Amino acid sequence: MTERTEHTTTAATTETIADLVAAEDVLLFVNAAVTATGQREFRSTARAQRLSLAFLHEYVRVNYRPVYAAALALDINDHNAALIIEQLLRTARDADPAEKRAEGRLIAARLAVLPPQRVYRLFGRLRAAGVTNRRTRAILRDWLAGRPDLAHDAVKYRHGLKTAARHFHLPLAERGHAEVGDFLFTPARRKHYDHALLDAYRRAHFAQDALYELPFTVAEGFAAKHGVDRAALLERAAPRMTRFERLRTRRGAESGPLPRADLSVMPLTRLALYALSFTPAERAARRKELTGALRAAARRTAGPYRNTWGRVAAVLDDSYSSAGSGEKRRRPLAVALACHFLLAELAVPGGYTPLWTSGSTDPLLARPLGPTPLGMRIIDALERAPERLLIVSDGWDNAPPGLAAEVLRVWRTRLDPERRTSVVHLNPVYDADSFDVRRLAPSVPTAGIRDAKDLQALVQIARFAEGRTGLAELRTYLDLRVRLFVTDDRFCAFPGDVPDALPDATSEEPR
């Protein structure tokens, strides 16, 4: 009897450990899918990033395929969402019919919110890989059917649409897009197009005025062909620019004819990147405009959770490594700046304390400079006894090395074992060598972050990284996210009842 009891206990313990390991694997992948883009980082090359990410995708897809697909419902970045869709479609034989149905709904839902240029590049990669099965053709056909104006895509994403239509045998003429089909494959057949945009593209080859009727990125090519002055192009094409195009061109033409972009409607992290693209002197000169826009974006992002997080302290990394790389210039610093403004809105009025590693007290003038004394700043933050402490850093604590980990260990084990202060580390940089974001201490949950708008959801996910919850609880959370994602009115319904709402991001982590 004793031997049997011991055997049962051992089996239960083994199963629990296996579940915890599986949960850790999944969380590791989620962190990578949020932060990694396959581009060069401050401490690793683009090749190392791509190899690390490719291994991680294959490992999770082979061992946890349902969870791998469910990641499409999380706040992962577009690069990894496209990789997941590609891998699921390339390995359809590994899924059973039920898994294929669930994957199909997730893929359709995610494609609907991906930028169209990424979708066309995705199907271009599937073409190169020789994937042309019926399931993939149906997914592409349904996505194209949902596009608001296929003629616009034919002009702006001509190569991508043409490649997809040819490789996947899409009968454009049979679906009411005969003009689009002729435009892509037999442009000389028609002397005139009924669709104004298609005809403007035809006329832009010989009539300079027609290029101002085209999307700006297409008009730029024709402007170069006709030798149109850049200032004249910006002035006349301004009404057809997207707000992102206005930001991009405005930065290089501050004294030109282009009207100043409306910053009040820009997303928070993009606004932070835009603000950091100016010199400190330029930021100081435009302080009122930039600060007002950042605060407005932070209020929109906080939404109903504004002023609900109690007293919050934040340790924000503006050390030299926050400069990022040539491909991701100032991205870590921009995430920290955006989180600063968002946390100021989430905290109760007067209850927010920002602590930058450089000691700066003017966030708008933040710049990458100096070492990373995270340990000292964490001590300063904990002395204020906040209800929440958030650390936004790449995790390279080096002044002195290891102090942050020791401070957090002592705090959690001896000074605050009751967890009166919730501590979460958010890391905007993927570490290719460890296949994860770099962690500060085992006792502090760490989550990857790329965009400040995801902060509230990531704080909720970070509670799973404390090592006390297994795969079952994590999968329950993923199931809820999946159901909410695919039951959006834009997408097909998920079978079964709509579940209860997700636990909100303001709830405390489990004790």
What dihedral do alpha carbons 453, 454, 455, 461 form, nearest 10°? 170
- Diameter over CA atoms, the chain: 92
In this model, does residue 491 exceed pLDDT 90?
no
pLDDT-derived band at 488 (thresholds 50, 70, 90) equals low
Q: What is the C-alpha to C-alpha distance for residues 257 and 221, in angstroms, rounded to an integer? A: 20
Condensed to tens digits (0 to 9), the pLDDT of residues 408-432 reads 999 989 998 898 999 999 999 999 9
pLDDT at position 499: 35
User: What would the 3-class secondary structure string for 38-57 be?
Assistant: CCCECCECHHHHHHHHHHHH
Question: Predicted confidence band at 471 (pLDDT cuts at 50, 70, 90)?
Answer: confident
* Residues 117/122/126/127 CA torsion (nearest 10 deg): 10
Give the pLDDT of residue 240.
83
**Predicted pLDDT at 469:** 58
Taking only the tens place, the pLDDT of each residue in 182-202 is 999 988 888 999 999 999 999
Check pLDDT > 50 for residue 490: no
Q: Is the peptide bond before 400 cis (omega within 30 degrees of 0)?
A: yes
Q: Where residue 260 falls among pLDDT bands split at 50, 70, 90?
A: low
d(CA 458, CA 450): 10
- What pTM, to 2 d.p., does this model score? 0.86
- Stretch 86-109: mean pLDDT: 93
Mean pLDDT of 119-139: 92
Q: For residue 427, give the 3-state DSSP assignment.
A: strand
For residue 70, the model assigns a pLDDT of 94
CATH no., domain 302-486 = 3.40.50.410
pLDDT at residue 501 tops 60: no
d(CA 4, CA 416): 40
Question: In the structure, what pLDDT confidence band is assigned to residue 509 with cuts at 50, 70 and 90?
Answer: very low
Provide DSSP, 105-146. Answer: HHHHHHHHHS-HHHHHHHHHHHHHTT---HHHHHHHHHHHHT
Q: Measuring CA to CA, which residue among 47, 114, 41 is closest to residue 76?
A: 114
Residue 510 pLDDT: 32
Q: Taking 70 as the threshold, does the pLDDT of residue 5 lie above it?
A: no
pLDDT at 12: 39
- Mean pLDDT (the chain) is 86
- Per-residue pLDDT band at 474 (split at 50, 70, 90): confident
C-alpha to C-alpha distance for 472 and 467, rounded to whole angstroms: 13
**pLDDT computed for residue 255 by the predictor:** 44
Q: Is the predicted pLDDT of residue 169 greater than 50, yes or no?
A: yes
β-strands 430-431, 436-437 pairing: antiparallel
If pLDDT is split at 50, 70 and 90, which confidence band does 19 have?
A: confident
pLDDT for residue 335 is more than 70: yes
Question: Where along the chain do its domains lie?
Answer: 130-203, 302-486
For the cut 70, the answer to whether the pLDDT of residue 494 exceeds it is no
CA distance 64 to 51: 20
Fill in the amino acid letter for 505: A
Averaged pLDDT, 243-251? 73
**Region of poorest pLDDT, from 164-178, 323-337, 419-433:** 164-178
| pLDDT at residue 14, rounded to an integer | 45
- Residue 473: its pLDDT value, please? 79
Residue 396 has pLDDT above 70, yes or no: yes
pLDDT tens-digit series, residues 264-299? 788 999 999 999 999 999 999 999 999 999 999 999
pLDDT of residue 377: 96
Average pLDDT (334-340) is: 97
pLDDT for res 470? 66
Instruction: Give pLDDT, residue 29.
Output: 94
Cβ atoms of 372 and 396 closer than 8 Å: yes
